[in-house]
């Protein structure tokens, strides 16, 4: 079946009717698979979100959690067709599409639990008959801007938390994957109908390109802008939000490394490296891009990797044995060709799509394009002689998202995870840098933007903190022992 025919059927199953000027093309064959209407009035959407906030913030958090529970149910029921649509529209293999929808379900479960655990603090006051507490209140409408490569999960990471925290969401999805967003919104609407009294404007989607994103970023009613995408985008969005003293959560590009030490289990390392470097056609923010191998094992290990990479099945992501699907579009192909030149190996899979064999590039020095994120499957290999050098190489790029080490030496793994080890937001041992679980906080340092989403205490970004001091005595002692005369 052509992607267009399959998309039509899936959209029908998911209850989505679309049509409009923004076309969606499947990276599988480059053909149009549907279209949506572009948002002409972001200002009104923000006004509706603000209106929704006024009532949603008053709904008890566990009741807000009920809406997220219903959303999780809708996602469970629609897991297979939504995952298929992800495959058709962004080209990831079916297993990864299913994984992405599962991530949405997982964060819904997490947020439902969180809705009864939005805890504050009780703080010891220095003054007699005083009590100090810290509590968390809803923040306001959240603007969520997402990238093409996780067309559904990143919205869920944000929306599930925002909803239980008392915040409406206005979503600006990537213009490359608008159909996935329509499908998610259809499921969200169904959950809201079942919920009963969700305010109009609680969950909205504004389709379009950069200008629609910019309008959202500039709207003063958007209390938090959570933006996922390239560092170039973050450089524009960050200062714009700061200008109006809004809050920003940036999830930007990565340039992730893995260190393979002499004590590593090489069979394990090989499998992990294969998936994290070649999987998703190198189009994950956490994709492994730099491999730092100890010189004593490098020659043999790199040979193993090369023969493994040569056997990777590149092709239609709907085929069960495909590991690597297409690049998103021609510009991604050009970006890869600009870096590796004519050594780029195009694979003749489906006419109209850009299919490439993941490349391994050996280098003596870490420089030039290795310091940048090229959103394509290129794995650079460097050699090192001692661990300090390997950690320095890991840290010597301007991005700070994810990292990992393969070692069976406790000292090496602890050193890698220590304060003088990896400088990334994520540092793993004996797994690759990609494929995070929702339970942990997700995000990275430096040019990755510093934001944290998903698990742990990331929910705090979606709320405002209030410190309260309560005097239950009849005197007025001042803090720091300050006295005054009347």
Catalytic center residues? 251
Nearer to ligand NAD, 49 or 59 (CB): 49
Nearer to ligand NAD, 146 or 322 (CB): 146
For residue 342, the SS3 value is helix
Q: What are phi and psi of 476, to 5 degrees?
A: -125, 65
Handedness of CA 232, 236, 241, 243 (dihedral sign): positive
182 binds ligand NAD (CB under 6 A): no
Virtual torsion, Cα 241, 245, 251, 253, nearest 10 deg: 60
| C-alpha 413: how far from chain center | 26
> Residue 259's CB: how many other CB atoms inside 10 A?
26
CB of 390 to ligand NAD, least distance (A): 23
Separation CA 367–CA 397 (nearest Å): 9
Q: For the segment 197-236, give every residue that binds ligand NAD (CB under 6 A).
A: 209-210, 213-214, 217, 228-230, 233, 236
Which residues have C-beta within 8 Å of that of residue 458, sequence separation ≥ 6? 161, 441, 442, 452
Q: For the segment 358-387, give every residue that binds ligand NAD (CB under 6 A).
A: 373, 375
Binding mask 137-176 for ligand NAD (x = CB under 6 A): --------xxxxxx---------------------x-xx-
Nearer to ligand NAD, 254 or 353 (CB): 254
DSSP secondary structure code for residue 267 in this structure: H
From 254, 282, 353, 432, residue interacting with ligand NAD (rule: CB under 6 A):
254
Yes or no: say if 397 and 371 are a contact pair by the CB < 8 Å rule: yes
> Where does this chain touch ligand NAD (CB under 6 A) — which range of 199-207, 248-256, 335-343, 363-371?
248-256
76 binds ligand NAD (CB under 6 A): no
Separation CA 205–CA 278 (nearest Å): 32
CB of 340 to ligand NAD, least distance (A): 18
CB of 388 to ligand NAD, least distance (A): 27
304 binds ligand NAD (CB under 6 A): no
333 binds ligand NAD (CB under 6 A): no
CB of 375 to ligand NAD, least distance (A): 5
> Residue 189's CB: how many other CB atoms inside 10 A?
14
Nearer to ligand NAD, 154 or 192 (CB): 154
CB of 486 to ligand NAD, least distance (A): 55
Structure tokens at 366: 């870490």
Nearer to ligand NAD, 233 or 387 (CB): 233
CB of 392 to ligand NAD, least distance (A): 23
Separation CA 304–CA 176 (nearest Å): 36
Nearer to ligand NAD, 172 or 221 (CB): 172
251 binds ligand NAD (CB under 6 A): yes
CB of 173 to ligand NAD, least distance (A): 6
Write out the H or E segment, with its range, that includes residue 274: helix 266-278
Separation CA 119–CA 134 (nearest Å): 9
Q: How many CA atoms, within 13 angstroms, populate the side-chain half-sphere of residue 361?
A: 26
239 binds ligand NAD (CB under 6 A): no
Structure tokens at 209: 């390109």
Count the site residues for ligand NAD by CB under 6 A. 29
Yes or no: say if 142 and 222 are a contact pair by the CB < 8 Å rule: yes
456 binds ligand NAD (CB under 6 A): no
> Residue 63's CB: how many other CB atoms inside 10 A?
12
290 binds ligand NAD (CB under 6 A): no
> Residue 304's CB: how many other CB atoms inside 10 A?
15
What residue ranges bind ligand NAD (CB under 6 A)?
Answer: 145-150, 172, 174-175, 209-210, 213-214, 217, 228-230, 233, 236-237, 251-254, 285, 373, 375, 401, 448
């Amino acid at each position: 079946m052509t992607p267009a025919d399959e998309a039509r059927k899936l959209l029908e199953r998911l209850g989505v009717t679309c049509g409009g000027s923004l076309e969606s093309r499947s990276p599988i064959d480059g053909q149009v698979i549907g279209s949506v209407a572009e948002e002409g009035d972001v200002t009104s959407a923000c006004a509706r979100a603000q209106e929704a906030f006024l009532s949603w913030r008053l709904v008890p958090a566990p009741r807000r959690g009920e809406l997220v529970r219903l959303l999780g149910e809708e996602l469970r029921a629609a897991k297979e067709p939504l995952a298929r649509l992800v495959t058709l529209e962004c080209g990831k293999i079916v297993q990864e599409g299913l994984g992405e929808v599962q991530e949405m379900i997982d964060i819904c479960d997490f947020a439902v639990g969180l809705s009864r655990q939005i805890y504050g603090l009780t703080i010891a006051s220095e003054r007699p008959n005083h009590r100090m507490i810290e509590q968390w209140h809803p923040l306001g409408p959240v603007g969520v801007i997402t990238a093409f490569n996780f067309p559904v999960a990143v919205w869920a990471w944000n929306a599930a938390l925002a909803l239980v925290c008392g915040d409406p969401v206005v979503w600006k999805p990537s213009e490359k994957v608008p159909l996935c967003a329509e499908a998610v919104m259809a499921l969200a609407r169904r959950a809201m109908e079942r919920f009963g009294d969700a305010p109009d404007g609680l969950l909205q989607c504004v389709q379009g390109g950069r200008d629609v994103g910019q309008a959202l970023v500039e709207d003063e009613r958007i209390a938090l802008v959570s933006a996922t995408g390239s560092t170039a985008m973050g450089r524009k969005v960050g200062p714009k939000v700061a200008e109006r003293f809004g809050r920003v959560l940036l999830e930007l590009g990565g340039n992730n490394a893995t260190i393979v030490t002499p004590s590593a289990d090489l069979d394990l390392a090989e499998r992990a490296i294969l998936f994290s470097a070649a999987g998703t056609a190198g189009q994950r923010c956490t994709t492994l891009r730099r491999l730092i191998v100890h010189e004593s094992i490098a020659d043999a290990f790199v040979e193993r990797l090369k023969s493994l990479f040569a056997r990777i099945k590149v092709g239609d992501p709907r085929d069960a044995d495909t590991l690597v699907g297409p690049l998103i579009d021609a510009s991604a192909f050009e970006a890869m060709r600009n870096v590796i030149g004519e050594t780029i190996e195009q694979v003749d899979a489906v006419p109209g799509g850009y299919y490439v064999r993941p490349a391994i590039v050996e280098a003596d020095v870490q420089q030039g394009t290795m310091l940048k994120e090229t959103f394509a499957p290129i794995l650079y290999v460097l050699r090192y002689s001692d661990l300090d050098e390997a950690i320095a190489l890991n840290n010597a790029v301007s991005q700070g998202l994810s990292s990992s080490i393969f070692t069976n030496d406790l000292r090496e793994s602890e050193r890698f995870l220590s304060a003088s080890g990896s400088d990334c937001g994520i540092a793993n041992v004996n797994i690759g840098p990609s494929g995070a679980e929702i339970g942990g906080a997700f995000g990275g340092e430096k040019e990755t933007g510093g934001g944290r989403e998903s698990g742990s205490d990331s929910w705090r970004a979606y709320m405002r903190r209030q410190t309260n001091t309560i005097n239950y005595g009849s005197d007025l002692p001042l803090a720091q022992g300050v006295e005054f005369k009347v």
